[in-house]
Every structure is written in structure tokens, then in C-alpha cells.
Amino acid sequence: MKILIIEDEPELIKVLESFLVSENFLVEKAMDYASGVEKVSLYEYDCILLDINLPGGTGLKILEKMKENGVVGNTIIISARDSVDDKIAGLDLGADDYLTKPFHLAELHARIKALLRRKMLGGTEHLEIGNMYIDYRQRSVSVGGNLLKLNRKEYDILVFFSTNMNRLITKETLAEHVWGDNIDSADSFDFIYAQVKNLRKKLKDNGADVNLENVYGIGYKMTL
């Protein structure tokens, strides 16, 4: 799952990034209003952690732009401002939750997981497709009761496809979702081909009902 932190406190960003990476999230950052607007305009995120006070503008203005452009960000406001008016304004503009600083990382983690369950996973901790079972809490996948041995990227790719069944996923979309900002320094998509090829082989060898179809020249699609 990919998270964007829009926050101007370097130390807080460092703490949040370290914690979220340890919890197997992919993290991107923006430290001011302009870069925050750019990020949410160009890329998709599973969750956005948004501060209200930012250099060059406010988090509420970013929410306004997201709302105007129909961007769904699954947003949690993190702010030192604890006024009822700010909370109401943020929620009215499309934020899903509001967490006042300072907060415990465990509480933030719980709020993120609850939001992702509600928005993406239908409120559950697992997903069943045919004979494939994905346990989000354990980050495990089994086919017909047999546990698959997947590396971290293979698991992330499989979850992304599984939550987008029957949708065409371009190579660019897959790369941005699973590798984030790191994709900008890549010379080619060869590493994506390799990961998808290995994942497809593991699914086939274990008799999975799902298929990872290659849409020539464009990307991939997972079907039953």
C-alpha cells in the first residue's frame, strides 16, 4: 500500500517514514503546498497523511483541489490544530479522519488500517478469489490451502492486481504504485517484467484459478 505524507516538519516526516516502512508501506513525501498539489495531481495513493499548516498554502486548499478534480485520496488530516471548525472543514472537503498532534504511532497505524479496510478491502482482513486466499494481516497468500512463497514485491503486485480484478493495469501504473518515486530513476521496466513473470509462474505451478494476462505493449490484467 502506498502512502503520501504531506508535512513540513522534517523530524516528524523521518519518524513517520521509518515507522510506516517498517510496517511494509511504500512511502512518498511532500514538504510544502506546491509539491503536495503536484503529487496528488500526478499519482494515486492508498492513503494521504495531510498537515493543515504548510509552506505556501494549507492542507485544506489541497483537499479543495482534490475535490474539484475528483481525486479520491483516502485522507487522514494530521494537525496540531485541534479546533472543531478545522475538523468540520476538513471532513466537509473529503477528509476521512482527523488526528491531532502529538499522537501515538500505534494509533495512527490503527487509523490507517481501518481506513484502508473501509475504502479498499470492504472492511475485511482477507480476500478470496477462486482458490486463492490473501490474508492482509499476515501478508500471506495461499492457493488451495498451500502457502505461496512470495517476496515483498511479488506480494504487493498480487494485492494490487487482486483489488483491481479484470481491469487493465498499465506498466506505468503498476510501477508507480509498487515502486513509487524510485521508478523515476529506472532505465526500463525490465524489473517489472521479471517480478510479474515470477509471480505468474508461482500462481500457475500451484494451480491458482486466477490468471495474469499479458496485454501486449500495454500492461496486464488479472482474471478468473
pLDDT in tens, 9-22: 999 999 999 999 99
pLDDT recorded at residue 74: 86
For the chain, give the percent of residues with pLDDT over 70.
93
At residue 185, does pLDDT exceed 60?
Answer: no
User: Quick one: residue 107, left, alpha or beta (phi over 0 = left, psi -120 to 50 = alpha)?
Assistant: alpha
CA-based nearest residue to 32, from 72, 5, 69, 66: 5
Place of cell 468540520: 88
Peptide bond into 102 cis (omega under 30): yes
At residue 147, does pLDDT exceed 80?
Answer: yes
pLDDT recorded at residue 91: 86
pLDDT recorded at residue 210: 95
| Cα dihedral across residues 12, 18, 19, 23: positive or negative | positive
Span 181-195, mean pLDDT? 71
Q: pLDDT of 22-45, one tens digit each? A: 988 989 999 999 999 999 988 888
pLDDT recorded at residue 191: 80
Average pLDDT, the chain: 88
Q: pLDDT of 46-69, one tens digit each? A: 899 999 999 999 999 999 999 888
The C-alpha cell that represents 84 in the structure block:
472543531
How is domain 2-119 classified at the CATH fold level? Answer: Rossmann fold (3.40.50)
Domain residue limits, the chain: 2-119, 126-223
At residue 187, does pLDDT exceed 70?
Answer: no
Can you tell me whether residue 181 is helix, strand or coil?
helix
Architecture of the CATH domain 126-223: Orthogonal Bundle (1.10)
Output 125 or 7, whichever has higher pLDDT. 7
CA-based nearest residue to 109, from 180, 31, 47: 47
For residues 220, 175, 142 and 152, what is the CA-based torsion angle, rounded to 10 degrees? 160
pTM of the complete model beyond 0.75? no
